[in-house]
Amino acid sequence: MPDAGSQPAAARAPFGQRLAAAMAARGPLCAGIDPHPSLLAEWGLDDDVAGLARFAHTALEALSPVAAALKPQVALFERHGSRGLAVLEELLAGARELGVLTIADAKRGDIGSTMAAYADAWLGEGSPLAADSVTLSPYLGYESLRPAIDLAKETGRGVFVLGLTSNPEGASVQHVGGDASVARRIIEATRADNAPDGVVPAGGDRGLGPVGLVIGATVGPALEELGIDLAATRAPVLAPGYGAQGATPADMRRTFGGAWGQVLATSSRGILAAGPDASRLRSAAERARDELA
Ligand SMILES: O=c1ccn([C@@H]2O[C@H](COP(=O)(O)O)[C@@H](O)[C@H]2O)c(=O)[nH]1
């Protein structure tokens, strides 16, 4: 595989430390790069590979200085075929050069043997699609994700496992069962993986580990209702739902309570609607970052 120009794994600090440093320096905003057909049209671009490349380049240059991380939505590159994925590779390489962390929102999940191939693609040294982290779906069981979790730890990268998603349909699977809910089991499973040297810390220690969680900003009181102690997991929390899906900073502070320091709020359409002008795009991201902080 061609080398993607990344640092050797040995020289890379653990993902949790790198993310915490980025959040301390730039605030708790992750800017989503979601080139929806409707946004391409609003930006005066064609829904083709050239339009996609222009969109990705503009978003990268405008948003990198103000976001702790960028989150390209993989599906919106995949819909352009192999040339769309080539644009994503260029975007990931550009983010590395600009020193901004990336979260490939691919939501991968499969039996362990296939999961190892997904891990190689999104987290492997020298893979052209390697990002700093990738989103994973635990529907086949948390342990089926092991190859990706282990590779993330080895390479100083991270994963974000779907816990409580922001869409209204998620509750019918994730919230059922109270204390024994799927969401609670998945979320609690991250705790052991985020414990340094296998020691599970007492609640209150906020040093972030490599295994993050996706918890929607829209889930309201679900964490409390399901008896979930997010702070004890030391998981970085990627929170979609802020912006276009309606959650406000006040909603998020109520939802995440004492775990707020772990939360990286992500917004895509809410920021991207300000394009294509790069300075307006950057201002929209700055406003989002400031109201979150
Ligand atoms: O529970 C989830 C998991 C992932 N997402 C993704 O986040 C962005 C949200 O985009 P907005 O335009 O800010 O609504 C998008 O890429 C989703 O696929 C999510 O929304 N909810």
| In-domain check, residue 106 | yes
Query: Could you tell me if residue 34 is inside a domain?
Result: no
CA gap 229, 209 in Å, rounded: 15
Query: Token pair for residue 261?
Result: 């320091």
Please state, rounded to an integer, the average pLDDT across all residues of the chain: 94
Atom of ligand 1 nearest to the CA of 266: 13
Structure tokens at 74: 């993989």
Closest ligand 1 atom number to CA of residue 242: 13
Per the CB < 8 A criterion, the answer to whether 207 and 255 are in contact is no
* Nearest CA residue ID for atom 21, ligand 1: 166
Q: Using one digit for the tens of pLDDT, what is the confidence trace for 186-210?
A: 999 999 999 975 555 444 334 899 9
Ligand 1 center to 91 CA (angstroms): 19
Q: Which of 38, 137, 159, 266 is the best mutation target for the ligand 1 pocket, counting ligand atoms within 8 Å of the beta carbon and taking the most?
A: 266
Q: How many CA atoms lie within 13 A of 165 on its CB side?
A: 17
Instruction: Please indicate, yes or no, if residue 202 is contained in any of the structural domains.
Output: yes
Catalytic residue from among 18, 26, 54, 107: 107
Residues with a CB atom less than 6 Å from ligand 1: 32, 34, 73, 105, 165-167, 214, 216, 240, 243-245, 266-270
9 in any annotated domain: no
Report the atom number in ligand 1 closest to the C-alpha of 244. 14
For a ligand 1 pocket test, name from 166, 173, 219, 263 the mutation site with the most ligand atoms within 8 angstroms of its C-beta: 166
Please report the atom of ligand 1 found closest to the CA of residue 170.
1
103 Cβ contact list (under 8 Å, min separation 6): 30, 69, 70, 71, 131, 132, 133, 134, 135, 160, 238, 266
| pLDDT score recorded for residue 10 | 72
Give the 3-state secondary structure of 267-279: ECHHHHCCCCCHH
**Strand ranges (E), 226-275:** 237-240, 263-267
What distance in Å separates the CA atoms of residue 216 and residue 87, rounded to the nearest whole number? 28
Task: Give the range of the structural domain holding residue 81, as residue numbers without chain letter.
Answer: 14-26+69-264
For the CA atoms of 130, 41, 82, 271, the dihedral, rounded to the nearest 10 degrees, stands at: 10
pLDDT given for residue 224 in this prediction: 95
Rounded to two decimals, the pTM is: 0.95
Q: pLDDT tens-digit profile of 139-192?
A: 999 999 999 999 999 999 999 999 999 999 999 999 999 889 999 999 999 999
Q: Is residue 54 part of a domain?
A: no
Whichever domain contains 22, its CATH number is 3.20.20.70
Residue 102 domain flag: yes
Structural domain includes residue 287: no
Rounded to the nearest angstrom, the distance between the alpha carbon of 138 and the centre of ligand 1 is 17
Q: Quick check: is 178 in a domain?
A: yes
Residue nearest to atom 16 of ligand 1 (CA): 73
Q: Reply yes or no on whether 107 is catalytic.
A: yes
Percent of the chain beyond pLDDT 90? 91
The count of domains in the chain is 1
The complex scores an ipTM of 0.99
